Amino acid sequence: MELTPHDLLRVNKTVDLEASSIPNWVYQSLREAPFVVVRRAPIMNGKVPIGVRGKDRTQRFGAYIDSKAILERIAPPDIVLKEIWELIKTSSPLPAVIALEDVQKIMEEFNLMWGPGGSVGFELVTGHPAVKESSDLDIIIYSEKAISLVEASDLMYRLENLLSISIDVQVETPYGAFSLKEYVRGTLPLLLKTKAGAVLVKDPWNQVILESSYD
C-alpha cells in the first residue's frame, strides 16, 4: 500500500500510538473518529508518521503507527472520484463544502488530479463534524508533470475569483509539495516541502535541482 501525505487512514479505536506524553484528547478523538492523516515524514521499519485531529484548531498531535494497524486508506482524489460532498452538502451546507462542486468543474477544465484536504477532507471521509462556517478550503493538486506559470496563474485566478472563501492550494510533485500561490508569484527559489524537510528549489519537478539544493 503506497501512502502519501494528506491520505486519511482508518484504524482501530484502540490503535497503539508511538509517541511520548500523549494528551487525553487524542484518545477521545480516536474513539469518536478512528482516522488519522499521513504526515510528510519518512516511513521507517513499517512505522507510518501520522497526525491526529482534535476538536480545536490547536489540537494536532503527531505520532507513528504500525502499518499493520491500517484498515483502510482514503486519498484526497478518492473523495473527488466518489463526489462524497454530494452526500452531505444538504445536511452540512457550509461554504467550504458547497464550493467543491465549482472546484471540480475548474479542475476538469485544467485536467488536473486533485482532492480536498484539511477539515473538509476529514469530515467528508469520516462523517465527523470538522468544518465550520469560517473554515478555509485546503486543495491538493497532484501533478507529476510541470504546470506552466501561465497555466498556474490562470488556475489561481479562477479559483480565487470564483470562490467566496479562503483557499490554500498545495501542489504535490514526485519530490514534494509547494504552494500554488507562491509559485504564481514567479519569485525563485521556491519552498518545497519534502519528507526530509523544507528546501529551496528552482524547479519543483526537477530531481537534479532538488538534490543539489541539499548541498
Count of C-beta atoms within a 10 Å radius of residue 7: 24
- CA–CA distance, 40 with 49 (Å, rounded to integer): 7
Enumerate the β-bridge partners of residue 72.
10
C-alpha cell at 121: 477532507
- Compute CA 47 distance to the chain's CA centroid, rounded to the nearest angstrom: 20
Cβ atoms of 65 and 50 within 8 Å: the answer is yes
C-alpha cell at 51: 497526525
Phi, psi of 178 (to 5 degrees): -140, 165
Q: Is 193 helix (H, G, I), strand (E, B) or coil?
A: strand
- CA–CA distance, 106 with 158 (Å, rounded to integer): 8
198's enclosing H/E stretch is strand 197-201
Q: Which residues are catalytic?
A: 136, 138
- CA–CA distance, 22 with 62 (Å, rounded to integer): 9
